[in-house]
């Protein structure tokens, strides 16, 4: 085992490389961050105190030539959910760490002074340097300065103004391929954990990296070839396919049609205005104004679902406008203007915030009457409040539930204190089962039932059927494995439908690890990771009552579906029943 | 059974008197509110939604001539703790309900419009009338108007501006004997529950009340005589004794001496400045400026620990300044000026807020650097922010933990999200065991170990001894019974030391109910009430991890004691072990 772990103590400012423990040999990405959190973080600790740890880990195949595998997991105890958290992003930095054979970076303890630090990681060294000049500033500007200072070739991870307030809506931002701070391990307040330790940025320079060691190059090549072929042929993932042509926002029209695109803080599930912010409309606009589309979030991606959104003059590039962001900052706030949504998304990136949480936050403030649904200008002003760290900004930066409480709102769409993504669980029940039961809080990526319920991927399922425990469980387990291997979740569209693709994915992992895993092992491995996560949550005080959707979604009918979330508690409890 | 229950549906605005169910015959006060909450409120419901209920219940002996028994319990699911809540107050209205034979008033469902209501209760009727003219106004002024409108003889319960925001720090206020809104069922956000339903005030007119039926007048008289004698002879409760002479603030010097009076958000446990705000100093000031002291909170109290605090000119009467309020708004904020504390307390009363929560809230804001410790003028300005319902005011009105999170503070002194009272659990461990394990959240009144640990009442115990499960359990059980009977908790000082007093208390209950309870039954009855409460919490998702003090109190030494809270988790779990 030539891999290593970098351990950084923010109290003593000491850094050291350690051997990668044999017991972690088969782990990477989420499997590794969750296991280290489970092993080293007391479940009842204060998430913003010295006992929490923040762990960065590239996936098992990340850094190889495996397609669409440039993912990095960020793990810790979440200050938003109070449970274990893994958030991941696609970014070149992930691949650099893989090639440097750094299996994980563990940030521990916390700095007791008022200074912020940048951690510079090279192949042989890790050094903390003062970062105070970048405090209280927007990340677009700061990332430029970091590239100027450290060179265009580095990878950056960083936290923004929201995290400086230790606010629960604060993500860890990574640079995209244009150097923009637009790739996010967004959810659960992982940014606040990083900032709480006094760490503001991490800069990675892979010069001299040996590359990922392949235990069996033949098997690896064979596997990646199969996987690449499946990605290149599936309708969702292929060149000029759905994701490549329109990005994730291809879902806007589809989910709206399915009556599951929440409008105005989940008051309705459909609006004819939604088409104005669809993936098709956005692709057209990108083309007109000279933005970039398609675009990869990291080198080696076949799907290239990303883009660079700009203003009408083709200026002020934002980075990608993902479906979730467009929905959260758009229809869910009654806003149907891509330029306003783009500006809001830019503000989130600039401040270091998760767009899903931010959009839901604005929506509950609207629901509480603090501003009108549809008032994009006022929503943009709210972002300035956060930037200025005003009391109002502090409310908003702490997320949806916090803002709902501040404004006396009882319709607060959260599970485990984390805001719901872009699918109304009343009209599409399986995704609601995932929201309710994922150890991460409401998270669509944790077990993307939409694939089967709406897109017919991996089989078919009636969105209104309430028997979704098995579907959600299987998807949650598979996802945990994909997040551990280091593949983009979107590879699942292909491999769920094309058996050879799935085989190839497993073979690529075997090629790196020298293991003999088969497709049949995926469920077992995934459930084992989920058990580690759920055990942590249980020790932190979670019970089955935390695996529930909020009252209003169970009692208030969505329109036009006329549905409530009526999956019985017993069905929810079956997802992880012994 | 001639007692009745008044049930008020705030959605339909219907009111009806119901027979008092036989199964509740032996219950009153806390025992009754907790049992009704357990029977009628779904544990997982949204505390501010239609399924929560707010229950008012006078104690079993309340309304009789039993001394110091004018207590009313207010119960519901708490929006602050998320668990069951009983908060109680001493006020004439409690006695009125007892004499009217109204065992409980149950407020249910919620009004869907924007109107607020006043519930007027007479012997034979209950009527809801519009209360909008009293919205958005301070309670001192409003209570005067209510007395003008309904007569000086009525009793008032009401909620203020904090509750209108559905803020978690909002109590239910009752009038004192001068008509001031200064008697509080303060803790746990019971005010927000009342406001969430659209109920702003309750006005009780006891004209024609039949009085409490005594099943056995002889036993009752014999019991109350014994009890009265014990109260009149014990050093703490007798005329010219500690409580009568100095009020509850007699504790300031005592607890400061014991190194357990938290200063500046629990940074230290002692300050020589504390003497400036002692009970002795306050009594002297009341005398000088022509306030009233001693003073009863309701007719028939022997102890008369209360007072009417005024400004230096003898104007602007506040009502009582309790020890807890003086500490929370004073030393815990680094404020050692009784006039500032009096103004802050007046603001809390005016806005309808719990002083313990409010003082801790200001202290954590100070700890977060938002204002300086000791800056009383700025603290008063913060109260104006709440009055004006600004974003900052909304943060503060939501209490200590909320404010701590908003300002990025990790030293947040709460248990079950409720702020700690005026005793540093590091220097006085038994009260910490009660804070941790009470189903109510951090609450000194739930099992007042200070009596034994510091005052030598009911035996003696070394404050630093960590074996306090049994002491806390016994006190929590006894307290549940006292709160059910309707006695002021301070009667416990006498009856814990004088066996005849305790006998008398039990006999007084037997005299009302016609029961044959003995002193030996107290533990069993108390534990049964506590089990009902803990079962509710368990069903709401609480686990033993909720029975813990915050991390900083377990790790950061208090000074000058040099102590941390080191009661082992196993000892905490022993309090309510099967």
- Alpha-carbon distances, residue A378 vs A211, A333, A344, B165, B496 (angstroms): 49, 11, 11, 22, 61
* CB within 8 Å: A168 and B405: yes
Which residues of chain B have a CB within 8 Å of the CB of A390?
Answer: 391
Q: Does B343 touch chain A (CB under 8 A)?
A: no
Instruction: Determine which of B77, B81, B166, B414 to mutate to test the interface with A (most A C-beta atoms within 10 Å).
Output: B166
**Bridge partners of A17?**
A6
B485 within 8 A of B69, measured Cβ to Cβ: yes
Which residues of chain B have a CB within 8 Å of the CB of A49?
Answer: 410, 551-552
Indicate if the alpha-carbon torsion angle B521, B527, B532, B533 is positive or negative.
Answer: positive
| SS3 call for B166 | coil
Residue A123 CA to residue A408 CA, distance in Å, equals: 52
Residue B21 CA to residue B441 CA, distance in Å, equals: 30
Residue B461 CA to residue B457 CA, distance in Å, equals: 10
| SS3 call for B319 | strand
The total number of residues shown for chain A amounts to 578
Q: Which two tokens stand for residue A383?
A: 């972002």
B58-114, pLDDT tens digit by residue?
999 999 999 999 999 999 999 999 999 999 999 999 999 999 999 999 999 999 999
**Bridge partners of B54?**
B107
Q: What is the pTM of this model?
A: 0.97
Q: How far is the alpha carbon of A213 from chain B, nearest alpha carbon, in Å?
A: 43
Which position has the token pair 């020589």? Answer: B272
Q: Does A113 touch chain B (CB under 8 A)?
A: no
Q: Does B553 touch chain A (CB under 8 A)?
A: no
Q: How far is the alpha carbon of A167 from chain B, nearest alpha carbon, in Å?
A: 7
CB atoms within 10 A of CB A165: 24
User: Which residue ranges in chain B fall short of pLDDT 70?
Assistant: 1, 578
Q: How far is the alpha carbon of A491 from chain B, nearest alpha carbon, in Å?
A: 37
Q: Does B56 touch chain A (CB under 8 A)?
A: no
Residue A256 CA to residue A444 CA, distance in Å, equals: 16
* CB within 8 Å: B551 and A49: yes
Residue B11 CA to residue A59 CA, distance in Å, equals: 55
A492: left (phi over 0), alpha (psi -120 to 50) or beta: alpha
| SS3 call for B71 | strand
Q: Encode chain A (578 residues) as per-residue pLDDT tens digits.
A: 589 999 999 999 999 999 999 999 999 999 999 999 999 999 999 999 999 999 999 999 999 999 999 999 999 999 999 999 999 999 999 999 999 999 999 999 999 999 999 999 999 999 999 999 999 999 999 999 999 999 999 999 999 999 999 999 999 999 999 999 999 999 999 999 999 999 999 999 999 999 999 999 999 999 999 999 999 999 999 999 999 999 999 999 999 999 999 999 999 999 999 999 999 999 999 999 988 889 999 999 989 999 999 999 999 999 999 999 999 999 999 999 999 999 999 999 999 999 999 999 999 999 999 999 999 999 999 999 999 999 999 999 999 999 999 999 999 999 999 999 999 999 999 999 999 999 999 999 999 999 999 999 999 999 999 999 999 999 999 999 999 999 999 999 999 999 999 999 999 999 999 999 999 999 999 999 999 999 999 999 999 999 999 999 999 999 999 999 999 999 999 999 85
* Residues in B 153-182 with any Cβ partner in A closer than 8 A: 165-168
B314-358, pLDDT tens digit by residue?
999 999 999 999 999 999 999 999 999 999 999 999 999 999 999
| SS3 call for B147 | helix
* CB within 8 Å: B395 and A390: no
Q: Does B54 touch chain A (CB under 8 A)?
A: no
CA atoms within 13 A on the CB side of A203: 23
Residue B377 CA to residue B560 CA, distance in Å, equals: 29
Nearest to B337 by CA among B395, B277, B401, B408: B277
Cα angle A189-A192-A193, degrees, rounded to a multiple of 5: 95
Q: Does A543 touch chain B (CB under 8 A)?
A: yes
DSSP state of B60: S
DSSP state of A576: T
Q: Does A114 touch chain B (CB under 8 A)?
A: no
Q: Does A550 touch chain B (CB under 8 A)?
A: yes
B329 within 8 A of B355, measured Cβ to Cβ: yes
* Number of A–B residue contacts, CB under 8 Å: 84
Q: Widest CA span of chain A, in angstroms?
A: 62
Indicate if the alpha-carbon torsion angle B402, B403, B404, B405 is positive or negative.
Answer: positive
């Amino acid at each position: 085992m030539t891999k290593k772990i970098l351990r950084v103590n923010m109290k003593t400012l000491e850094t050291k490389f350690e051997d990668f423990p044999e017991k972690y040999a088969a782990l990477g990405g989420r499997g590794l961050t969750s296991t280290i959190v489970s092993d080293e973080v007391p479940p009842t600790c204060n998430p913003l105190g010295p006992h929490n740890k923040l762990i960065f880990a590239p996936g098992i195949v990340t850094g190889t030539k495996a397609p669409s595998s440039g993912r990095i997991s960020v793990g810790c105890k979440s200050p938003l959910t109070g449970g274990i958290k893994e958030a991941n992003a696609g970014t070149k930095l992930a691949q650099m760490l893989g090639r440097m054979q750094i299996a994980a970076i563990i940030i521990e303890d916390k700095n007791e002074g008022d200074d912020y630090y940048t951690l510079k990681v090279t192949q042989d060294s890790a050094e903390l340097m003062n970062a105070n000049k970048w405090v209280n500033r927007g990340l677009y500007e700061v990332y430029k300065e970091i590239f100027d200072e450290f060179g265009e070739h580095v990878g950056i991870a960083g936290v923004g103004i929201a995290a400086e307030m230790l606010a629960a809506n604060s993500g860890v931002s990574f640079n995209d391929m244009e150097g923009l701070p637009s790739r996010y391990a967004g959810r659960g307040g992982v940014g606040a954990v990083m900032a709480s330790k006094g760490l503001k940025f991490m800069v990675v320079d892979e010069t001299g990296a040996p590359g990922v060691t392949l235990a069996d190059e033949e098997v690896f090549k064979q596997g990646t070839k199969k996987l690449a072929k499946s990605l290149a042929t599936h309708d969702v993932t292929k060149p000029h396919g759905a994701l490549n042509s329109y990005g994730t926002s291809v879902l806007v029209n589809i989910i709206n049609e399915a009556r599951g695109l929440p409008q105005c803080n989940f008051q309705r599930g459909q609006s004819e205005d939604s088409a104005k912010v669809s993936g098709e409309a956005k692709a057209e606009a990108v083309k007109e104004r000279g933005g970039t589309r398609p675009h990869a979030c990291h080198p080696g991606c076949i799907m290239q679902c990303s883009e660079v959104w700009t203003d009408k003059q083709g200026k002020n590039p934002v980075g990608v406008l993902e479906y979730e962001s467009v929905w959260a900052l758009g229809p869910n706030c009654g806003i149907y203007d891509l330029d306003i949504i783009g500006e809001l998304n830019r503000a989130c990136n600039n401040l270091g915030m998760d767009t899903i949480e931010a959009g839901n936050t604005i929506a509950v403030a609207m629901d509480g009457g603090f501003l009108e649904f549809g008032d994009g200008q006022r929503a943009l002003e709210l972002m300035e409040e956060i930037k200025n760290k005003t009391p109002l900004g502090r409310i908003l930066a702490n997320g949806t539930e916090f803002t709902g409480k501040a404004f006396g709102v009882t319709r607060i769409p959260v599970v485990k204190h984390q805001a719901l993504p872009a699918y109304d669980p009343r009209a599409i029940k399986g995704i609601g089962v995932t929201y309710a039961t994922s150890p991460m809080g409401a998270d669509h990526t944790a077990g993307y039932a939409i694939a089967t319920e709406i897109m017919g991927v991996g089989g078919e399922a009636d969105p209104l059927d309430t028997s979704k425990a098995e579907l959600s469980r299987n998807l949650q387990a598979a996802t945990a494995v994909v997040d551990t291997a280091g593949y983009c979740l979107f590879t699942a569209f292909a491999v769920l439908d094309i058996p050879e693709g799935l085989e190839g994915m497993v073979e690529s992992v075997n090629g790196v690890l020298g293991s003999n895993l088969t497709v049949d092992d995926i469920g077992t491995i995934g459930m084992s990771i989920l058990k580690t996560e759920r055990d942590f949550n249980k020790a932190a005080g979670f019970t089955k009552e935390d695996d529930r959707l909020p009252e209003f979604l169970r009692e208030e009918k969505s329109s036009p579906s006329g549905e409530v979330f009526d999956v019985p508690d017993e069905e929810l409890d079956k997802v992880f029943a012994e």
